Structure 1
Amino acid sequence: MNNPFEAILSEIGEVKAILKETPTLPTAAQVEIIDRAELCKRLAITEPTAIRWEKKGAIPCFRIGSNVRYNWHSVVSSLENRRVA
């Protein structure tokens, strides 16, 4: 008869392997939604500059109706990656 603990350990090993292959989702700490005014304030840029960067695709944004919003951490990452490139 098989040891039940060996079966459990085998299942745990399979679950660990699946979790290692699964991409991680952003945590709540990585999601901070801000509006354009806050973006301009944090980056010390003008609103026309923010709009120009949006159109060029330099910073990621999304719309909720007619309002533009930004994930602050995505914006920072995008700007850091552009600087290196």
Structure 2
Amino acid sequence: MALLLTAVSGTGPVTNEDCVLYLVGRSTSHPDVVHVTEGGATKEAHAANFASPRVQALLAGLAPLVIGEARYQDEVPAGGKLTAGRLS
């Protein structure tokens, strides 16, 4: 989980203005399962960021840990709330 969270700090790959959503969460029933939800301002901006060397380096580090396929969902955040760290 720590590697995924490096993406949001400093010059991490999701610190650009086109990244509108990046959430990292842990399953409460399966503590070894981590979920990542992310999205870009547009599908094209998301694809461009994903193709960047910074994201490719992050993905290379994560590759040994990933099980399953990424799922694209056509979703645009409309609002909500996140209080990170409140659940354990």
Q: Which has the higher contact order (CA 8 A, sep 6+)?
A: 1
- Please tell me whether Structure 1 or Structure 2 has the larger radius of gyration of its CA atoms: 1
Give the alignment's TM-score, normalised by structure 2: 0.21
More helix by share: 1
